[in-house]
Amino acid sequence: MIKKIAVAVSALTLSAASFAATLPDTPVPFKSGAGAMIDNVIYIGLGTAGNSWYKIDLTSDKPVWQSIALFPGQPRDQAQAVALDGKLYVFGGVGKESAEATRISVSNEVYCYDPKNDSWQLLPTRSPVGLTGHAAIALDKDNAVIVGSVNKEIFDGLFYDLEKAQGDEKALSQINADYIGKEVKDYFFNEYVLSYDAKNNLWHKIGTMPIGGTAGSAIAKKDNVITVVNGERKPGLRTAKALQFSVDKNVATFSALDDMCPANGESVQDGVAGAFAGYSGYALLVAGGANFPGSTKAYEQGHNFAHEGLTKTWRDEIYMLLDGKWVCAGKLPQPLGYGVSIEYKGGVLLVGGETTGGQATSAVQYIYYKDGKVNID
């Protein structure tokens, strides 16, 4: 099985690997933004790009980033973009509701970009739940699937309370302690699997995640099977779980996967949030992300503030899921997470992201499975 896949992927990646080495950096250091590809043109924006959006044509002899129309809404982090029927759909995010707003909140808006006339439109819809920390992917040409997200009421309420308590250090300390000290179940992260029908501008609930609600999960699709990997269970605490599901007639059918294996030299997989993911042939590659090593053990021992005293760690590991089994398959040149993943010609482009300390990067890298191993360009 592995040899057959390696041969199939090899034919696709020979040209892509050489092309990837020549892709220019993103126009600005880029993290916590959104992106997707339409007809071999990548579109990225928001996050550290603010209201700016850019495109790059991968079929060009000398690909360059070009500006497109500015995003008409407020700047936001953690929005998700999906390409549907030749257009770009942007879901949710976290930011200020207006230029006059004094605090951030979770968005339930949907915007659409039409490349044919370089224009944006705020659609007349709202997602059934607020969407920040969600993961989104195209199911087919008309429908997107969305999983995860923090709870809008709890998250927005936190920032309302913090703003109201400004200047009162005792109150601020208590508000933060109350927020961090809850059990996983008390954050009410979104457990629904949602679908958005762009053709009819309709939302559907198509299932409930067996692993519970998450934020910052990685997501990828092969044929009709969607895989969701890891993510936050609550602030500072990840999960090592992964699952797959298929969708038929707006009903999701789930199947379990093994937990992701520990990194080399570690005995526990704490899980990651903000990882890159995509398929290279039939090998699912999951790269980077961030976690708090030791938080899983602390939570299991009854410490709700599971990451207290622990260090947020940006990861450089690349994991591969092949034939239902996880393996440690290599390392990125540097720790990296919270960028945009784009599948292209048998591999995965890692666009931007942040490295240790949260520093945004501009690099565009390419990972792919070939000749029995994972390669990086």
Q: Which residues are catalytic?
A: 232
Q: What is the C-alpha separation between 3 and 6, in angstroms, rounded?
A: 5
Place of tokens 């996050």: 47
The Cα angle at residue 330 between residues 326 and 336, in degrees rounded to 5: 100
Are 108 and 123 in contact by the 8 Å Cβ rule? The answer is no
Question: Is residue 249 helix, strand or coil?
Answer: coil
**Token pair listed for 197:** 């029908």
Question: Is residue 216 helix, strand or coil?
Answer: coil
Q: What is the C-alpha separation between 228 and 256, in angstroms, rounded?
A: 10
Burial class for 375, CB neighbours closer than 10 Å (0-12, 13-18, 19+): middle
Are 266 and 280 in contact by the 8 Å Cβ rule? The answer is no
Q: Which of 182, 239, 195 is nearest to 213 (CA)?
A: 239
Q: What is the C-alpha separation between 316 and 161, in angstroms, rounded?
A: 36
**Token pair listed for 9:** 């992927």
DSSP 75-88: --BS-EEEEETTEE
Q: What is the C-alpha separation between 188 and 154, in angstroms, rounded?
A: 8
